[in-house]
């Protein structure tokens, strides 16, 4: 098959991108953008260039207690290795005695998940636009031997111009052969992950099939809202025969089925032509891949943003004065476990 693959600037994983040197006192913390098991993401403004950023603050004690040291270090290392228009930028990282800090893009449009829930489902051209941008990002990551492993609408952010930024690399892994760790979001897990088999980068293409289905229908294909994960995993392992198909575009359904192929050796994105099969699929026929990569195609939805620091697209969280605790001197029991996070003081 002759297909012109989108050209991507490749950064070898061992060559890390240039990041800045930061400390907490460089920023004014405005509000919380999100919370998680290990800490929070804050909207901050630089005192120096006055730009807005998002800072992820992670408790070292919680990371160690929940055995997430390798995932946390992986996230930083993966973000230092990638530089792509549809992937969030890591500008720098540092630590103090209690916390890790990662300075990243502030992406003001919020999560694709929020837009999808508000819309209920996307029209076929809208789902195609976001799927195509995700496909470009996945192809770039795979060219660096990175498996992303956590594709879902919550991890796809919308920039001010409506184009995507993939975030949250906590499950990403540099791997040029196979992996076997059980991780990811249940609805998006490929059957080989559930069966505890070795797997490769094709699990990301499987997840893209799930994402396309969810964007077109409003829910993932095997979704079980009130059942245990056991029932969900049984349906995933049963395959497409367990799916109740809404009236999709026939070409979209064909591509979804090729992504949800049970046998990874027969799955689209993992065949002889790799991602070339994905880009050449008839559902994507009208996509100009080079223009899309350059963000020269107008996005289907433009976030309503009043100003540079407008965070109204994000849910409000109680602040609990947590920011006042950052930088306080405590016994540092875990600093040597995160050697790539600079000690920059406060």
Burial of 8 (0-12, 13-18, 19+ CB in 10 A): middle
User: Which residue in 150, 187, 204, 277 is the catalytic one?
Assistant: 150
Residue 132, number of CB atoms within 10 A of its CB: 23
Angle (CA) 47-50-56 rounded to 5° is: 75
Dig out the tokens for 143 from the structure. Answer: 């060219």
Cα 115 versus chain centre, distance: 16
Dig out the tokens for 162 from the structure. Answer: 């409506």
What is the rounded CA–CA span in Å between residue 107 and residue 129? 18
What is the rounded CA–CA span in Å between residue 33 and residue 44? 10
Residue 331 falls in the annotated catalytic set:
no
Rg (CA), the chain: 20
Q: State in Å, rounded, how far the first CA of the chain is from the last one.
A: 56
- On whether 60 is known to bind a ligand per the annotation, the reply is no
Half-sphere exposure of 216 (CA within 13 A, CB side): 23
Phi then psi for residue 162, to 5 deg, are 90, -10
Q: Beta 90-95 vs 52-59: how paired, if at all?
A: unpaired
Q: Which residues are catalytic?
A: 150
Binding-site residues for ATP sit at 56
């Amino acid at each position: 098959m002759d297909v012109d693959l989108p050209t991507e600037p490749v950064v070898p994983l061992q060559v890390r991108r240039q990041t800045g040197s930061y400390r907490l006192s460089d920023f004014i913390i405005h509000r919380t953008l999100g919370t998680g098991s290990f800490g929070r993401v804050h909207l901050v403004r630089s005192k120096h260039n006055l730009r807005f950023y998002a800072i992820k603050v992670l408790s070292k004690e919680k990371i160690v207690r929940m055995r997430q040291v390798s995932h946390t270090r992986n996230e930083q290392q993966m973000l230092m290795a990638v530089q792509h228009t549809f992937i969030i930028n890591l500008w720098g990282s540092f630590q103090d005695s209690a916390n890790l800090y990662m300075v990243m893009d502030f992406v003001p449009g919020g999560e694709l998940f929020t837009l999808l829930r508000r819309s209920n489902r996307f029209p076929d051209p809208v789902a195609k636009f976001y799927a195509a941008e995700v496909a470009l990002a996945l192809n770039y990551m795979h060219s660096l031997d990175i498996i992303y492993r956590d594709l879902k609408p919550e991890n796809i952010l919308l920039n001010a111009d409506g184009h995507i930024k993939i975030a949250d690399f906590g499950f990403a892994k540099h791997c040029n052969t196979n992996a076997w760790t059980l991780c990811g979001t249940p609805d998006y897990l490929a059957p080989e992950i559930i069966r505890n088999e070795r797997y490769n980068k094709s699990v990301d293409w499987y997840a893209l099939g799930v994402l396309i289905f969810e964007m077109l229908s409003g829910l993932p294909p095997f979704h079980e809202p009130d059942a245990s994960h056991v029932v969900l995993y049984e349906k995933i392992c049963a395959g497409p025969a367990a799916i109740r198909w809404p009236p999709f575009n026939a070409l979209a359904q064909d591509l979804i089925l090729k992504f949800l192929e049970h046998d990874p050796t027969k799955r689209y994105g993992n065949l002889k032509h790799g991602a070339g099969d994905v880009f050449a699929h008839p559902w994507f026929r009208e996509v100009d891949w080079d223009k899309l990569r350059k963000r020269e195609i107008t996005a289907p939805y433009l976030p309503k943003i009043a100003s540079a620091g407008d965070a109204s697209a994000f849910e409000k969280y109680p602040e609990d004065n947590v920011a006042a605790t950052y930088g306080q001197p405590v016994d540092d029991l875990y600093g040597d476990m995160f050697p790539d996070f600079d000690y920059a003081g406060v």
